[in-house]
Amino acid sequence: MEIRLIGDPVLRKRAKKVEKIDENLKDVIDEMFSTMYLYDGVGLAAPQVGISLRFFIMDSRENEGDSLTANKEKGKKVVINPEIIEFVGEEVSFEEGCLSIPDIFEDVVRPEGVKVRYQDLSGNIIEEELHGYQARIFQHETDHLDGILFTDKLPIVKKARLKKELNKLIEKGKKRALELGEAIKT
């Protein structure tokens, strides 16, 4: 799978609700996990691979100090039609990056925790409270479904400093979008 870069219009669209969790979606999600691990990502939202639907995957294990084999499923999630019901705790600053904005890492301020609701791959409705690294990834990935990128959230001074670098990426992303064509529909 090709990762869409900032500048690709699919990353700026509001993604549509997932209506049907079927085999096709499961195959796409398997492929997304392979792609995410290949690029050492901890989260990947559907629009980042050209699919304008409301789902993402995440795997927070490495940063929680769990070896991948020792704690196989903890922190690994498939999140379909997510909603953030409530923000919990203080605003905290934490460094973020994004596979769609390579080589740029900046501190972003967000609430420490979130109460969330979403569907898993079996269609079950899950409600849970997430904190720390998991809450951070969940917020970053949910933003992707609304066309928001983490660089949008930076203070004006930081944005100005990154402008040249971002504009270069945006040009590259636009070009790649033309090569890859329209968003894939599942």
Binding-site sequence positions for Fe cation: 98, 140, 144
Q: Give the chain as a DSSP string.
A: -PPPPTT-GGGGSPPBPP----HHHHHHHHHHHHHHHHTT-SEEEGGGGTB-BSEEEEE-TGGGT--TTTTSSTTEEEEEEEEEEEEEEEEEEEEE--TTSTT--EEEEEEEEEEEEEE-TT--EEEEEEEHHHHHHHHHHHHHHTT--GGGGS-HHHHHHHHHHHHHHHHHHHHHHHHH-SPB--
Binding residues: 98, 140, 144
Closer residue to Zn ion in complex, CB, 12/72:
12
Closest approach, Cβ 122 to Zn ion, in A, equals 26
Stretches 22-30, 64-72, 81-89, 93-101: which one binds Zn ion (CB under 5 A)?
93-101
**CA gap 68, 75 in Å, rounded:** 10
Q: How far is the CB of 14 from Zn ion (least distance, A)?
A: 16
In DSSP terms, which residues pair with 92 in a beta bridge? 110
Q: Cα separation of 115 and 127, whole Å?
A: 7
Q: How many residues bind Zn ion (CB under 5 A)?
A: 1
Q: What is the nearest approach in angstroms of Zn ion to the Cβ of residue 166?
A: 14
Per CB under 5 A, 32 contacts Zn ion: no
Which stretch in 2-10, 12-20, 68-76, 92-100 sits in contact with Zn ion by CB under 5 A? Answer: 92-100
Taking the least distance from each CB to Zn ion, the nearer of 123 and 172 is 172
141 included as an active-site residue: yes
Q: Which two tokens stand for residue 145?
A: 């479904």
The residues in 54-83 that bind Zn ion, with binding defined as CB under 5 A, are: none
With CB under 5 A as the contact rule, the residue among 36, 42, 58, 98 that binds Zn ion is 98
> Of these residues, 83, 128, 141, 165, which one is catalytic?
141
Q: Shortest Cβ distance from residue 66 to Zn ion (Å)?
A: 22
Site of interaction with Zn ion (CB under 5 A): 98
Residues acting as catalytic residues: 141
